[in-house]
């Protein structure tokens, strides 16, 4: 039985951890794998709707484009933020109509603009004059959002270094040029920075956007879309509540009229906590560092095939599967490749004493991991085991308005009995 690429239904006595335990018990199972919990994604969507009912999600697919994730989001009616022709193609191929796609890359390749025109994707962002001339040439029906710069300087990634027009003089000049070229500008977009820490910035950025809405009226534009970008928290230790408070206050104050559509492009919020990465220790060494014994474990994943975000400041919590020793020791985790930069975190992990063949779980690894990886040094990108709770699956089935999107799911049920079979079977001794 080929279990890869199928979404498996969890029965009432299984959960993500029990599934991990079962997979790691499979005889000869050694390959690392992700567990993707689609029910978590559905919960995050509902949570968003609870806190920010007026803000429509356009999920940033660059964050994680695993097919079952995209299918789930497409099925519950979410829109998508795409940055390239290939991302647009992926979403269109799921049966998502072009109105639910925003081409949110302010610096676009000509042929990608032409592809957007061909597929009917109209809403796109821009922040400089050269984009206006390209749009005039290749996509006359485009509807543009002017991306302004408004940075949270404490965010993990400050995107304003690369994109965004100043909301005053640059915006004025861009609107004047757009008008002279007879281009349809429909609103304003911003991104305060990925993993935003200073939540009040959303309120300030919305206030700045309102000024650009007012400015646009001087050029006889009537703006109707405000795109408040990404930056929402992707860790279970942080809540959406505080950002929602600032966003809701600001849209009530500056955009009370609901003819203005408010959209956002969350990436890490939608997926990070839905993934765990499970890997085995393949080698161990104990070294002395500053008169301290340090355990060095070599694992089957690497910064290249899954944990690349560690080199861009993200830190992944790690715990041992089935090793609940109370005593923990400072440990270094080395990735599988020969590269000395391939260290999973610059700081020590504190883990129970572990051995070759033991399994570790990196928690909350759904964002900017799978979508950015490669098989460097011959270590392939880990497989994904996607699961969904039965209730969620039934809800999804009933909610889907476009029945063809159901065909995208290849389900097998129930999960636990499949695993029992897998473990017992003589021929299929590995899960993947
Ligand atoms: C244009 C745009 N929108 C949305 C996102 C998603 O951001 P986040 O994952 O911080 O929510 C990004 C991330 O780089 C982006 O560039």
Q: Locate the DSSP E strands across 65-193.
A: 79-82, 101-103, 123-126, 143-147, 184-189
Contact 119, 139 (CB under 8 A): no
Angle at CA 163, nearest 5°, toward 157 and 168?
120
* CA pair distance 387, 382, nearest whole angstrom: 16
DSSP secondary-structure letter at 148?
B
**Two tokens, residue 314:** 């993200």
Nearest ligand 1 atom, CA 265 = 4
Q: Which of 85, 122, 139, 191 is catalytic?
A: 191
What are the residues whose beta carbons fall under 8 Å from the beta carbon of 168, sequence distance 6 or more? none
The pick from 191, 270, 313 for probing ligand 1's pocket by mutation, whose C-beta has the most ligand atoms within 8 angstroms, reads 191
Q: Is any atom of ligand 1 closer than 6 Å to the C-beta of 44? A: no
* List 62, 108, 112, 199, catalytic entry: 62
Helix (H) or strand (E) holding 55: strand 55-60
| The CA-based dihedral angle spanning residues 152, 153, 158, 159, taken in that order and rounded to the nearest 10 degrees | 50
What pLDDT is stored for residue 315 in this prediction? Answer: 79
- Residue 192: closest CA among 209, 179, 169: 209
Asked if the peptide bond before residue 345 counts as cis, ω within 30 degrees of 0, the response is no
**432 residues of the chain, pLDDT tens digit each:** 456 668 888 988 889 999 999 899 887 889 999 999 999 999 999 999 999 999 999 999 999 999 999 999 999 999 999 999 999 999 999 999 999 999 999 999 999 999 999 999 999 999 999 999 999 999 999 999 999 999 999 999 999 999 999 999 999 999 999 999 999 999 999 999 999 999 999 999 999 999 999 999 999 999 999 999 999 999 999 999 999 999 999 999 999 999 999 999 999 999 999 999 999 999 999 999 999 999 999 999 999 999 998 887 777 999 999 877 779 999 999 999 999 999 998 899 999 999 999 999 999 999 999 999 999 999 999 999 999 999 998 888 877 666 666 666 777 777 777 777 766 664 456 777
Active-site residue, from 22, 265, 364, 389: 265
Return the structure tokens found at 249. Answer: 């206050």
Atom 7 of ligand 1, nearest CA residue: 230
360 lines ligand 1 (CB under 6 A): no
Alpha carbon distances (Å) from 400 to 36, 71, 388, 407: 21, 11, 16, 11
3-state secondary structure of 188: strand
Query: What is the distance in A from the centroid of ligand 1 to the CA of 190?
Result: 10
pLDDT at 408: 64
Q: Is 197 a catalytic residue?
A: no
Tell which residue, 254, 172, 167, has the closest CA to residue 206: 254
From the CB of residue 337, how many other CB atoms can be counted at a distance below 10 Å? 17
- All structural domains of the chain, each given as residue ranges with its CATH number in brackets, are 39-271 (3.20.20.10)
- Residue 326 to residue 215: CA distance in whole angstroms: 62
| HSE-up (13 A, CA, CB side) for residue 377 | 14
Ligand 1 within 6 A of CB of 159:
yes
* Catalytic-residue membership of 62: yes
The three-state secondary structure class of 331 is strand
The answer for residues whose C-beta is within 8 angstroms of residue 46's C-beta and 6 or more apart is none
Ligand 1 center to 266 CA (angstroms): 6
């Amino acid at each position: 039985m080929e279990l890869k690429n199928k979404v498996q239904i969890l029965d009432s006595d299984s959960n993500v951890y029990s599934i991990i335990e079962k997979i790691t018990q499979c005889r000869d199972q050694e390959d690392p794998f992700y567990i993707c919990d689609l029910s978590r994604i559905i919960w995050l969507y509902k949570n968003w709707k609870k806190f920010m009912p007026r803000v429509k999600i356009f999920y940033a697919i660059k964050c994680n484009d695993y097919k079952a994730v995209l299918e789930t989001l497409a099925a519950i009616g979410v829109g998508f933020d795409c940055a390239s022709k290939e991302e647009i193609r992926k979403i269109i191929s799921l049966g998502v109509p072009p109105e639910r796609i925003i081409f949110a890359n302010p610096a676009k390749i000509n042929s990608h603009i032409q592809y957007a025109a061909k597929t009917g994707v109209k809403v796109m962002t821009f922040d400089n004059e050269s984009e206006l001339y390209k749009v005039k040439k290749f996509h006359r029906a485009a509807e543009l959002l002017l991306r302004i710069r408004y940075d949270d300087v404490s965010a993990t990634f400050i995107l304003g270094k690369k994109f965004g027009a100043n909301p005053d003089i640059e915006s004025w000049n861009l609107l004047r040029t757009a008008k002279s070229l007879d281009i349809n500008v429909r609103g304003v977009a911003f991104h305060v920075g990925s993993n935003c820490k200073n939540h009040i910035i959303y309120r300030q950025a919305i206030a700045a956007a309102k000024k650009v809405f007012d400015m646009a009226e001087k050029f006889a534009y009537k703006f109707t879309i405000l795109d408040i970008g990404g930056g929402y928290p992707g860790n279970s230790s942080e809540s959406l509540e505080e950002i929602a408070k600032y966003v809701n206050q600001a849209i009530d104050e500056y955009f009370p009229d609901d003819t203005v559509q408010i959209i956002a492009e969350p990436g890490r919020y939608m997926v990070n906590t839905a993934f765990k990465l499970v890997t085995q220790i393949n080698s161990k060494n104990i070294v002395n560092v500053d008169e301290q014994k340090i355990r060095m474990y070599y694992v089957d994943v690497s910064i290249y095939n899954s944990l690349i975000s560690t080199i861009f400041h993200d830190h992944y919590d790690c715990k041992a599967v089935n090793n609940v020793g109370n005593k923990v020791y400072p440990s270094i985790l080395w990735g599988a490749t020969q590269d000395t930069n391939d260290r999973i975190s610059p700081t020590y992990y504190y883990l129970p004493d572990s051995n070759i063949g033991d399994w570790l779980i990196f928690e909350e690894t759904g964002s900017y991991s799978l979508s950015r990886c490669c098989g460097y040094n011959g270590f392939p990108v880990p497989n994904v085991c996607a699961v969904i709770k039965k209730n969620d699956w039934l809800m999804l089935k009933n909610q889907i308005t476009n029945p063809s999107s159901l065909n995208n799911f290849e389900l097998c049920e129930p999960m636990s009995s499949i695993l029992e079979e897998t473990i017992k079977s003589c021929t299929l001794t590995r899960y993947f």
